[in-house]
Every structure is written in C-alpha cells, then in structure tokens.
Amino acid sequence: MLTDSLSRADQSPVHAGVEGPLPFVLRAPVPGDSWRDHAELIRRAVDSDLQTTGGILFRDFAFRDTNDFEDFARSFGHELLTYDYASTPRTKLNSRVYTSTEYPAHQVIPLHNEQSYSLNWPMKIWFHCIQAAPVGGETPIADSRLVYQRIDPVIRQRFAGKRLMYVRNYGNGLDLTWQQAFSTEDRNEVERFCRLSHIDFEWKDDGELRTRQVCQAVAQHPVTGEWVWFNQAHLFHISNLPAALRETLVSIVGEEGVPRNVFYGDGSPIELEALEHVRDVLQRTQISFPWQAGDALMLDNMLVAHGRSTFQGPRKVVVAMAEPAPLG
C-alpha cells in the first residue's frame, strides 16, 4: 500500500448514507509537483485501486494546461475517444478534451454513466477542474455496484429482462442537431454509424432525424465480473423534465416528437413509480466532494456514475474519455 503518499482530502467526501472508500485520494508528495514527476506512483495507484474503489481523485498535482491534462489521460495506455453519438452540448477544446456538459448553472445533471444510453461506451473517464465554482459545482459520484444492489429486485429484474429503448428526436431548436450529435454534416455518415451501432433511424418529413436504440439496463464489468446498474432511463424519460416544460413540449410536438424519451425494450411504457425508485436510490448513494482547482478525477465509467450540482460564479471542468468497452 502506498501509505506514504496516499491520504484523504482535507475536505472529505460527503456520503449520503454511504460508507466506503470512494473516491480514493492520491496527493502529490510535494504540492505543486507535476504529475509527470510521479507518473509511476500514479500508475501504481490506478493499478491497485481503480477497480476496487471505482474512482481516484488526484490532488495537489500540477497541470500546465488542457494539453497537459490530455497527456495525463493518454498516459494510462489507451487512445482517447471522440464524443460521438453525443446527448449533451459540449465544446471540443483540443484533439480529445471537451468541456463538461454545457447546461445552465441552475440545472442539476443527474447521476449517470457516460454513454450508458448506447451499446458503446468508454471504460475510463477523466475530469479536470481548471476553475472551481465559488459556490456549488461539485461532480457527485455513486458506486454503480451499490446502486445495482439497492434497486428493488423486482424492478431490477424487469429492467434487465426487458432492456430499454431510447428514442431521440434531433434539432428543431429543442435539442442537439443531428450534425452536433454525430459530429458530421453528412447524412450517409450518420446512416453508416447507425447501422454499425444497431440504431434504427428515420429521416422525417421536415428533414430532421429520429433514432431508436435498444440497450442494456444492467451490465457486467468485463474485468471484475461485478454487476452494475448501467442505463440512463431516469434521465432520458420525459418525466425528468419539469412539469410545465413537459406539458408545453407535448402540446407543441406531441409525445412522439419530444427530444428524448425512453421505454422498455418492447416499446411499453416504464412505470413512473419505478423511475422514482431509481432516482431515490441514486440520490441515497450519491457522494459529493468540493472541487479544488487543479484536481483530476479518474473513474471507471462502469463502476462509478457521475453528475453535476448547481453552481454560482465561474466554473471550468474539462473531460476526456478512453478505452471502448469490449463488445458483447
């Protein structure tokens, strides 16, 4: 154990009724040292602890800029991924580093595993805090193994057996355009991506795109063998929208035309009670810690979900992803 260099942060994570080691905190032996000076220490910590805890917070290491952070993420041996089949607005900062989701500061981003609304997702995700918000702005996390265990077994089995169908309508000023979501202006490229990814698609009369994809609700980690709750039903479902906005959207475009929604894999509706139960479990399992400028957080994306709290003032957190999940 690297006890001489590993410790808890001064401001310990706040566990919502949870006891556990997440996130594991690795401090620079000398505050302000470059991460490059301790690359071997960092690598050993990741090899030893990432798949046990699910997440490591690197604190007091120096990062020069986003290029340096990109080099840090690359140092773990995998090519970084582009943000294809996106579901939220982001800005590409350099070759493979993006802003975190650009939703207004007053909005909460619910806990989720990155791209768990698809059949292809990154196994690793990194966050780097360049500027911490003066108020709020945390990136809450939750152990997806624990979420899986806490979900009512009847609901868990129903979700696992039926799977989930995500329906998305792009553009019309209501959500990402298909050009933004698929990072291309070429319809043929979109269709090629959809066919390869088992996404059903249709071009509507107004020229906009609708997609449907049936995906997992739970998943088994390919290395640890552990089962995790792994979907975004609670986030994609229309019930996640505020009631007034939901009613307005449906009155304008109909339920079929809302930007995103989710059903069981057979097309049947998901019970609101089940979704509220899932949201409650996620909330009870959530862990939150205050960002400090310079922090970097590395998560096993299957083992740990993440979100975003509301905030006030300036905030800048950037993201990188790597290691596509092995297929089936």
Q: List the one residue out of 132, 140, 99, 88 whose CA is nearest residue 312.
A: 132
Amino acid at 311: F
Q: Report cis status (omega within 30 of 0) of the bond before 89.
A: no
Q: List the one residue out of 313, 324, 294 whose CA is nearest residue 80.
A: 324
> How far is CA 13 from each of CA 22, 52, 58, 146, 284, rounded to the nearest angstrom?
8, 17, 14, 17, 14
Q: Within 10 Å of residue 34's Cβ, how many Cβ atoms?
A: 14
Beta carbons of 281 and 81 less than 8 angstroms apart: no
Q: List the one residue out of 64, 74, 85, 12 whose CA is nearest residue 43.
A: 74
Q: Tell whether the torsion through CA atoms of 167, 173, 174 and 180 is positive or negative.
A: positive
Helix (H) or strand (E) holding 318: strand 316-324
Query: pLDDT tens, position by position, for the chain (328 residues)?
Result: 333 333 333 334 443 333 457 999 999 999 999 999 999 999 999 999 999 999 999 999 999 999 999 999 999 999 999 887 766 766 777 678 888 877 889 999 999 999 999 999 999 999 999 999 999 999 999 999 999 999 999 999 999 999 999 999 998 888 889 999 998 999 999 999 999 999 999 999 999 999 999 999 999 999 999 999 999 999 999 999 999 999 999 999 888 999 999 999 999 999 999 999 999 999 999 999 999 999 999 999 999 999 999 999 999 999 999 999 986 5
Q: Within 10 Å of residue 94's Cβ, how many Cβ atoms?
A: 13
The structure tokens 């049936």 sit at: 214
CB-based contacts of 11, cutoff 8 Å, min separation 6? 289, 290
| Helix locations, the chain, DSSP H | 39-53, 66-74, 144-150, 153-162, 178-182, 187-196, 233-236, 243-253, 272-285
Beta carbons of 80 and 268 less than 8 angstroms apart: no
| pLDDT at 176 (0 to 100) | 87
> How far is CA 198 from each of CA 193, 194, 202, 325, rounded to the nearest angstrom?
9, 6, 13, 16
CA 321/CA 98 separation, integer angstroms: 9
CA 238/CA 250 separation, integer angstroms: 10
> What does pTM read for this prediction?
0.90
Residues of the chain with CATH 3.60.130.10: 14-105+120-134+289-324, 146-281
The CATH topology of domain 14-105+120-134+289-324 is: Double-stranded beta-helix (3.60.130)
Q: Reduced to 3 states, what is the DSSP secondary structure of residue 126?
A: strand
> Which class in CATH covers the domain with range 146-281?
alpha beta
Q: In the beta sheet, which residues pair with residue 168?
A: 211, 260
CA 309/CA 328 separation, integer angstroms: 33
